[in-house]
Homo-oligomer: A and B are copies of this chain.
Amino acid sequence: MKKSINNLESKLQALLRSQHSHYTQGKVANYIPALEEVKPDLVAVSVATLDGKNVGVGDYQHPFSIQSISKVFGLVMAMNRMGDSLWQRVRMEPSGQPFNSIIQLEWEKGIPRNPVINAGALLISDVLTSHFSASKLAFVCFLRNLAQDENIHVDNEVYQSELAHGNRNAALAYLMKSFGNIEAEISDVLAHYFTQCSVAMSCEQLAQSLLFLANKGLDPISNQRVCSPKDAHRINAILSTSGMYDQSGEFAFTVGLPAKSGVGGGVIAIVPNYGVICTWSPPLNSFGNSVVGMNLIAGIAQELGLSIYH
């Protein structure tokens, strides 16, 4: 049977060693000082499976800034709250553009192409800000509950850094507001968005937290329903076509799993009916994706035969 996990830990160790010379190929995110300081040779893999196992190697319990991986959690919350009406304000098409491009947003009159580019995630932040009495707290609580860990928190240094360098995101938000597609105050929307991005979690926690997406919306550990089967399907579809920024097509082509990356160096990949892989390595390629993180997921997917396109 494929997808066997005998000796998974030793396989992960071997993969980790194989990447030893690749940490120097990318560049740690430097748009804010707080991220720039992270050591480039930190590296981790966790694989959580539906049967409750969670195997990690390297720095898999070391928290890092989840950044855009937070878009997945925000999206779940907004879908649960808004139902299908959400899709009148954001589309589900790949963008064919860099993650923070403002051009397409102007062309398409303030409707973001999908919820995992920056404009879309700001739209989702507006939904959460407008429909939750304390959206930032609600977001953190949602993560603590999913990861079963009350210590998950926002890294305040990262948050302050994001706020101080948030002009392009402010531009995206104001442009959407000029088209009538933002309800809350921009400052509140940005505060929510940067809060999401600044949460610190480990690979182990992220892999565990997202198991519901591999299990039709049901968390297999707590047995609680996180979202509907239909919405789990939809999120996996969006992550497959758009989760890896403007490298999503190449990731599908070479790996074949729904995935989301963050500029903190984390990558999560969903394996339907199997589990979740989370990797972390700070150096990024020119698309903003972790070089070693993608290599590790590719290696695991190949080794275990996990692609959804086979």
Residues of A bordering B, CB below 8 Å: 91-97, 101-104, 106-107, 113-114, 167-168, 170-175, 177-178, 186, 216, 229, 232-234, 236-238, 240-242, 246-250, 252-254, 256, 258, 272-273, 307-310
- Asked if B171 and A167 sit within 8 Å, CB to CB, the answer is no
On whether A104 and B96 interact (CB within 8 A), knowing A240-B252, A249-B241, A252-B240, the answer reads: yes
Query: Cβ of A91 and Cβ of B272 under 8 Å apart?
Result: no
Q: How many copies does the complex hold?
A: 4
Rounded to whole Å, the gap between the CB of A286 and the closest CB of chain B is 13
A307 proximity list for chain B (CB < 8 A): 233
Of the residues B91, B97, B178, B240, contact of A309 by C-beta under 8 Å: B240
Given the contacts A168-B178, A171-B174, A249 and B92 also touching, CB distance less than 8 Å: yes
The CA of A172 and the CA of B105, in the complex, are separated in Å by 13
The smallest beta-carbon distance between A299 and chain B, in angstroms, is 15
Q: Please, how many angstroms separate the alpha-carbon atoms of A186 and B95 in the complex?
A: 29
In the complex, the answer to whether B247 meets A93 with C-beta atoms within 8 Å is: yes
What's the nearest-Cβ distance from chain B to residue A141, in Å?
A: 28
CB distance from A191 to the nearest CB of B (A): 15
Q: Chain B residues with Cβ under 8 A from A170's Cβ?
A: 170-171, 174, 178, 186
Taking the closest CB of chain B, its distance from the CB of A20, in whole angstroms, is 25
User: Do A216 and B174 have beta carbons less than 8 Å apart?
Assistant: no
- Which residue among A92, A177, A309 has the maximum number of chain B CB atoms within 10 Å of its CB? A309
**A-B contacts, 7 listed (Cβ < 8 Å):** A93-B94, A93-B96, A94-B241, A95-B96, A167-B177, A232-B310, A238-B249
B residues near A256, Cβ cutoff 8 Å: 233, 237
Measured in the bound complex, the distance between the Cα atoms of B310 and A171 in whole Å is: 36
Residue of B nearest to A91 (CB): B249
Q: Which residues from chain B contact A172 at a C-beta distance below 8 Å?
A: 171
Name 18 extra pairs, CB < 8 A, besides A91-B249, A240-B309, A242-B249: A92-B253, A93-B246, A94-B249, A96-B97, A96-B113, A102-B106, A167-B178, A168-B178, A170-B171, A171-B173, A171-B174, A234-B309, A237-B256, A238-B253, A241-B241, A258-B309, A272-B310, A308-B308
